Amino acid sequence: MQHEFNDRIAAQRAILRVVNRKPWSSEQLLGLSSKAIDRWVSVNRIEPGSRLVKLVKDVSAKLFFLANKSQEQVSDEYTAIRAEMIAACDAIKIELEAATA
Amino acid sequence: MHIYAFGSVCRGDVSPGSDIDLLAVVQGHDPRFSPDDYSIYSYERIREIWGEGNPFAWHLAIESKLLYSSDKSDFLTSLGKPAAYRKCLQDCEKFFALFREARASFESQAESKVFDLSMVFLAIRNFATCFSLGTLDKPDFSRSSALRLGEHSLSIPRDAYKVLERSRILCTRAIGESITDREACMAFGQFSQIEGWMTGLLDQVGNRAARI
């Protein structure tokens, strides 16, 4: 249980790695806080209403939601959300591939 | 609902780059509070961390000020002192693992280097805070806790430490100049020193735990 904090960090890193496989024009996505996402959208001139931005913001909301839960709740919900994270990674990959095809 | 300020602003430790840490204690989901601006906790979770002697509970107990109370009470003060802090070794091991994961990631790929530097900073800071809370007379919850442990302080060049700190601020508050490759390299050059510092303090914490 004590490593759920580290697991959330690893989940963030996994998302960043997927997003940053694309060579962004100005700056990589540096974190999954709303402010970091807004900076990435702004400096790279990404369409704020795009599906990619929505997917990244959804993942961010889930991770921060987990951070505010009690340990007991996290134990149950983290398992479910971990599966959602894998699905989100796949969805972002597909979105980026579609955008560059 | 209760709103508190905590951290640097309560210590008077302010600088142009410092933010104001805010805690919202709420009943259930409250959409008025964004997790970007507040640490949001339920009353139940606060009671839990108080009972666990969690470092964040100690941080709040020592360095927080009530800003608003919907019922005129000071909820945190009413809880008294948190339970004794007993998880120093586990917490230091956790943050050492966080450092190792960030180091391995930094060395293996290029897609999350600034985030990895940011996690190195978080690991150093939290490790130092837990060490100070568990072993020293005066805990240090500041952003520079690793540099303020007296003879136990982390000894790396100030420039490298600043790069790690800037990375953390970039990844969370999204403020500041981008980290250049040269700066990232400079910080990376200190990873072995940081790892040695952590393993040395872990030995001390482990020996202390074995004696208790």
The per-residue pLDDT for range B114-123, each reduced to its tens digit, is 999 999 999 9
Residue A51 has pLDDT above 70, yes or no: yes
Q: Answer for the pair B113, B209: CB distance below 8 angstroms, yes or no.
A: no
Distance separating alpha carbons of residues A98 and B37, to the nearest angstrom: 34
Nearest C-alpha of chain A: how many angstroms from B46? Answer: 9
Best mutation target, B23, B115, B126, to test chain A (most A CBs within 10 A): B115
Full strand arrangement of the beta sheet holding B21-26: B39-42, B21-26, B2-6, B64-69
> Residues A9-32: what's their mean pLDDT?
94
User: Can you give the pLDDT of all 212 residues of chain B as single tens digits?
Assistant: 999 999 999 988 887 777 899 999 999 888 899 877 898 999 999 999 999 999 999 999 999 999 999 999 999 999 999 999 999 999 999 999 999 999 999 999 999 999 999 999 999 999 999 999 999 989 999 999 999 999 999 999 999 999 999 999 999 999 999 999 999 999 999 999 999 999 999 999 999 888 87
Are residues B170 and A10, on separate chains, in Cβ contact within 8 Å?
no
Distance separating alpha carbons of residues A43 and A23, to the nearest angstrom: 13
- ipTM surpasses 0.90: no
Nearest beta carbon to residue B118 from set A31, A65, A71 = A31
Nearest beta carbon to residue A34 from set B36, B40, B111 = B36
Nearest beta carbon to residue B115 from set A13, A21, A67 = A13
- Stated pTM of the model: 0.91
